[in-house]
Structure 1
Amino acid sequence: MTSADDSDGDWDEFMDKFTEERYKNGFSEDNWEEEMEKIPLFMTKAPEEIDPKTHPQLACLQALIHDEDRTPEEKAVSLKNEGNAYFQEKKYEKAVVAYTEGLKANWEDQVNNTVLLTNRAAAQYYLGNMRSALKDSCAALKIKPDHLKALIRGAQCCMEIRSFPEAIRWCDRGLKMHPGDKKLTELRSAADKHKREAERDARKAMAKEKKEQGERQRLLSAMTERGIKLRLPKRRGSDDDEEQGQGPALDQLTQDATGARVFLDDQGALNWPVLLLYPEHQQSDFISAFCEASCFIDHLAVMFGEELPPWDTDRKYLPQNLQLFFEDEEMEVLYQVVPDMSLLKVLQHKRFFVKAGSPSFIVLVQGSPFSKKYLSEKTLKRW
């Protein structure tokens, strides 16, 4: 027999062990509120995402709600209500999922399916998925052709994708079934206004394009008549530069930051954006409208007349001291330009190609050490 003393000893030993090995998952004074929040019965707010690892009881309840034993009607109605709750909270992506699952429930109630499609269209609309929203609106109307919400949503989708004639057709269809409906009437008025504005803008754009096309053709004709050759940027996959562009090739001519580009003036003269390069000082000048009939000396006299540029510290860039050259990049040759020559005469030289729409010239000071060294490294040809 076991004595009372032995029994008390066993009990004490058991209690000591229990004290040492406390229940690991038990609540403590520090975490009891957090743990209680995990129990569905005591939750004050449902979690955004239900993870079975962190909320096993809630996951179990959710599985019961969506249990396969429920009828299609119970599933569809429950999922529709779930989608509506998400929609009210502006959780449109979750609403779309719920409505989609509701449609998959295969409850053959046309009224409920129409509502699910229309509600999903609304959620897609607020997500910015206009094509999907329009598709759902069409599907809802196949079931119930006079469904007002689907008609309105379809018209709104067409407005958002700027398909104004189609929006008008949706509104007209709806107004035949719901004469005088305020929302459809407002949508139709807005769609008609935007349609007329879009047509006006299209006419303006077409007229502008026609005018620009005519100007491009006149420019090409003027260049062809003068024998001016263009060297446009290489096309991808091409080994050779393209010369004497045709038609749209003029669109490849670059513009200055100010928008300068070759143009024909009222007298029919070509005016070019011309670049002057000063390699000794790594500087440049840009003449936005150099008339083809003007001579280089006319511009140089203005640019280097009374006031010389600040980078010319030696004050040697005087008009009478300057030499001009253009470079034949293909032949690696420099041709000297006489300052008294007109721009047109230079552009008509057999080896001059207008590159990227802007003729460029090199300016040096005659007899300067830099000029002598620079020219010694180049092949120089005269006219």
Structure 2
Amino acid sequence: MERSQPDAADDNAMDSFLDKFQSQPYRGGFHEDQWEEEFDKIPLFMKKAPSEIDPKENPDLACLQSIIFDEDRSPEEQAKTYKDEGNDYFKEKDYKKAVISYTEGLKKKCADPDLNAVLYTNRAAAQYHLGNFRSALNDVKAARKLKPCHLKAIVRGALCHLELKHFAEAVNWCDEGLQIDAKEKKLLEIRIKADKLKRTEQRDVRKAKLKEKKEQNQNEALLQAIKVYFEDEDGAELYQVPPKSTLLQVLQHPRYSVKALTPAFLVCVGSSSFCKNYLRGRQVHR
């Protein structure tokens, strides 16, 4: 009986509220023609956050962002927030923004080496997908300085060396990683591929050296076979030109003469019958 009066008062208040709700239109609700767009502006239900947050257009989202990136939080908390943001961008394949987020996290210079190693390694993965293999390699090297046994950093470093055609280095990185985990499937795959490419590269280098040596021997043999002469002004005597002489050196010879502004030489194969017959009975100065 003691609760009957309060209950009646509550019922009257509810009736009054309902009467007011029915007589006055509700303000703040969605519009029928654009409710989907308005619904998507609520942070909890957003399918994709805007690249640039305008406080006037998205006040709720701007408020959440200010809380998340509050400068009063510890460097570790801020770095972790940027890491998570970078991971979200990475999942969306927006690798450029992922790189920016990871970089911002590293700028906080937090004291957690594991967190910094993850930031470097994740940024390396984003750089790798952008084709910036040298930048990615520098990041994994930095990660390994903080955490030498960080397996993800070793895997990504081996991939970078593979893309840069540093096949021997890729094999070395794989071997170092396999000492940590001998069953790491990705490292095993990279090592097999890198070792095969290294062997192919070494074979190609050997072939190129042999070809170069063969061509060099042929050139030397040709130089030895070819004989070059010039006649003196009277045409009575011949002078043999040393194979390594320059044109200027020959033109400066006291017995050389230029006719009709054109230098003239006799070039023949020394062992040929023509050369032997031509030189027979003539005085040759060597």
Normalising by the residue count of structure 2, what TM-score does the alignment of the two structures yield?
A: 0.62
Q: Which segments of 5 or more consecutive residues in structure 2 lack a partner in the other structure?
A: 1-30, 231-241, 246-257, 268-286
Aligned position for 1:91: 94
Equivalent AA in structure 2 for residue 66 of structure 1: F
Contact 2:87 2:98 in 1 (8 A): yes
Aligned partners of 2:244, 2:134: CA distance in 1, in Å? 41
| C-alpha spacing 1:115/1:42, structure 2 compared with 1 (3 Å) | closer
Contact 2:228 2:265 in 1 (8 A): no
Contact 2:80 2:105 in 1 (8 A): yes
Equivalent AA in structure 2 for residue 142 of structure 1: K
| 1:74-113 paired onto structure 2 within 5 Å | 74-113=77-116
Aligned partners of 1:127, 1:245: CA distance in 2, in Å? 55
Aligned position for 1:287: none
Aligned length: 212
User: Could you tell me how far 1:152 is from its partner in structure 2?
Assistant: 1.0
Contact 2:167 2:195 in 1 (8 A): yes
Contact 1:220 1:246 in 2 (8 A): no
Contact 1:38 1:55 in 2 (8 A): no
| 1:1-383 paired onto structure 2 within 5 Å | 36=38, 39-41=41-43, 44-46=46-48, 48-50=50-52, 52=54, 55=57, 57=59, 58-59=61-62, 61-223=64-226, 225-227=227-229, 331=261, 350=264
The structure showing larger relative contact order (alpha-carbon pairs under 8 Å, at least 6 residues apart) is 1
Q: Pick the structure with more strand per residue.
A: 1
Equivalent AA in structure 1 for residue 132 of structure 2: N
Aligned partners of 2:183, 2:46: CA distance in 1, in Å? 47
Equivalent AA in structure 2 for residue 350 of structure 1: A
User: Could you tell me how far 1:34 is from its partner in structure 2?
Assistant: 9.7
Q: Secondary structure at the match of 1:98?
A: helix
Provide the identity percentage: 48
Q: Secondary structure at the match of 1:49?
A: coil
Aligned partners of 1:245, 1:41: CA distance in 2, in Å? 84
Equivalent AA in structure 1 for residue 264 of structure 2: K
User: Could you tell me how far 1:123 is from its partner in structure 2?
Assistant: 0.9
Normalising by the residue count of structure 1, what TM-score does the alignment of the two structures yield?
A: 0.48
Contact 2:41 2:58 in 1 (8 A): no
Q: Once the two structures are superposed, what CA deviation does each residue of 1:54-87 show, in whole Å capped at 9, x if it has no partner? A: 8463556534432212222221111111100111
Q: Which segments of 5 or more consecutive residues in structure 1 lack a partner in the other structure?
A: 1-28, 229-243, 248-327, 334-348, 354-383
RMSD over aligned Cα, in angstroms? 3.6
